[in-house]
Amino acid sequence: MKYKQHPLSAAFPGLNEEDFRGLIDDIDANGVREKIVVYEDMILDGWHRYSACMELSVKNIPMLEYEGDDPVGFVLSKNLHRRHLDASQRAFALAQLSEWQEKSGRPSHNLERIKSGKITGLSADKAAELAGVSEKTMRQARAATKAVPEVQEAVTKGEIAVSEAAKLSKLEPEQQREAVEKKKTAPKREKPKAEPKEDSVPLSEYQKLREEYDELSSNYQALAAELDACEAIRNGEQMDHFKKLNQQLIAITASRDEFQNKCGELTRQVNYLNAKLKKTKE
């Protein structure tokens, strides 16, 4: 029997060709180190291991049936905090898992189901917290799930951001495909080499970002309240004042979202390092 990849597993991007060839070589030399998990007659975890085994014509592939009651939470624990995922990929994957959860009617113990949330079955703030992104990014990710498969695949592979995919989802299907194809064939700009990341995150840097984020959030709330008041009484000379406030609010909102994404990334790294430190002490 040949297995297909489960939609929950497919929500996360696959290995690049170089890493996949390395996996094949490792399995050829050492065998499958971790069993492949099957759910609903599809591969829930270990798709690349399974694909490598198929290419190597392994006769007895080590597999086990998923016996838990929370497949969404299981997939999240295996994939969400993979370090190479960018913000769009994390948000889009979570949006896909949430959508599957809603359609299947199977709640996850790791995903809080809130019917009154802006995202059905999962509140926008909870989804954003899990993905480490802003609520705006999370809403864009959910909109991107309505795009054609070609657009969704581009988001999963990290070729386009969820913000762009959300805009494309409003176009006709053929226009969406043309836009993705045009982006793929466009000459790529060389990106400057990123500075090597340190193995640890200075706590002082995290605290500084957190303080800046809290200050921006406070300013945002104050401006939002002032904007609401101006909007209720705007006329004549007050219109100019209203426009200025609106521009300030837009700028602060963008800054707040940026810091929120940075804080989310740093929080994940701190948690990862704490867990690593704890294991070292044990």
| Domain assignment of residue 70, yes or no | no
pLDDT, position 239: 66
Are 231 and 173 part of one and the same domain?
A: no
191 or 21, which is more confident?
A: 21
Question: Which of 153, 185, 217 represents a domain boundary (last residue)?
Answer: 185
Query: Mean pLDDT throughout 88-104?
Result: 80
0.75 exceeded by the pTM? no
| Same domain flag for 107 and 170 | yes
42 phi and psi, to 5 degrees?
Answer: -140, 160
For 53-68, how does the pLDDT look when each residue is reduced to its tens digit (9 = 90+)? 999 999 899 999 999 8
For the chain, give the percent of residues with pLDDT over 90. 22
Alpha carbons within 13 A on the beta-carbon side of 57 = 0
Is the domain of 86 the same as that of 175?
yes
165 and 100 share a domain? yes
Q: What is the pLDDT of residues 74-91, one digit of tens each?
A: 888 887 666 577 888 888
User: Last residue of a domain, which of 36, 65, 94?
Assistant: 65
Rounded distance between C-alpha atoms, residue 263 and residue 258, angstroms:
9
Tokens of residue 220, six digits: 């945002």
Domain membership flag for residue 16: yes
Q: Assign 120 a pLDDT band (cuts: 50, 70, 90).
A: very low
Of 41 and 121, the one with more pLDDT? 41
- Specify the CATH number for the domain of residue 47: 3.90.1530.30
Produce one character per residue of 146-177: b if its CB has 16 or more CB atoms within 10 Å, e if not.
ebbebbbebbbeebbbbebbbbbbeeeeeebb
Output the pLDDT for position 97. 80
Give tens-digit pLDDT for 229-256. 666 665 555 667 777 787 888 888 888 8
Name the most confidently modeled range: 111-125, 147-161, 194-208: 147-161
For residue 38, give the 3-state DSSP assignment.
Answer: strand
Sequence length of the chain is 282
Query: Does one domain contain both 98 and 175?
Result: yes
Residues 121 and 214 in one domain: no
Same domain, residue pair 242 and 147: no
Does 190 reside within a domain? no
* Residue 264 clears pLDDT 70, i.e. is over it: yes
Residue 233 lies in a domain: yes
Q: Tell me the residue range of the domain where 145 lies.
A: 82-185
- Name the band, by pLDDT with cuts 50, 70 and 90, for residue 52: very high
Domain count along the chain = 3
Same domain, yes or no: 275 and 211: yes
